[in-house]
């Protein structure tokens, strides 16, 4: 999917060197590093704001743990289960192993 998007954007840039095409290329392809993610939205794909992302990995983990604690404290067990599985998946070493996704889906009941 990524290569198709990159090919489409590069073809558009050659055919029509418009500023909107350049803007899309810079934002979608990571030309602005993490700031490109926060230029037009408030949260990253993991649900963290800019200050949490800039503070580092430990701040992100602390933010996730506090969020899990709050949802469990409020009694929202469905959200707590879903978010804790996402948290475990993101922070498990080797999480990109091909057999881990089906295993987590079985545990999560998907």
H helix and E strand count, the chain = 7, 0
For 61, the token pair is: 């983990």
Structural domain spans, the chain: 2-31, 50-108
Taking only the tens place, the pLDDT of each residue in 93-107 is: 877 778 877 887 787
Report pTM. Answer: 0.54
CA distance 47 to 63: 10
CA distance 66 to 62: 6
Overall average pLDDT of the 81-110 stretch: 80
Taking only the tens place, the pLDDT of each residue in 15-65 is: 666 777 777 767 666 666 667 667 767 777 777 787 887 888 898 889 889
């Amino acid at each position: 999917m990524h290569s198709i998007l990159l090919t489409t954007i590069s073809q558009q840039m050659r055919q029509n060197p418009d500023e909107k095409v350049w803007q899309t290329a810079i934002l979608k392809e990571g030309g602005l590093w993490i700031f490109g993610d926060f230029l037009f939205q408030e949260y990253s794909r993991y649900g963290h704001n800019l200050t949490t992302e800039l503070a580092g990995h430990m701040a992100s983990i602390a933010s996730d743990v506090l969020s899990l604690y709050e949802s469990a404290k409020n009694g929202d067990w469905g959200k707590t289960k879903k978010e804790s599985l996402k948290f475990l998946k993101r922070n498990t070493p080797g999480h990109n192993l091909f057999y881990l996704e089906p295993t987590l889906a079985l545990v999560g009941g998907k």
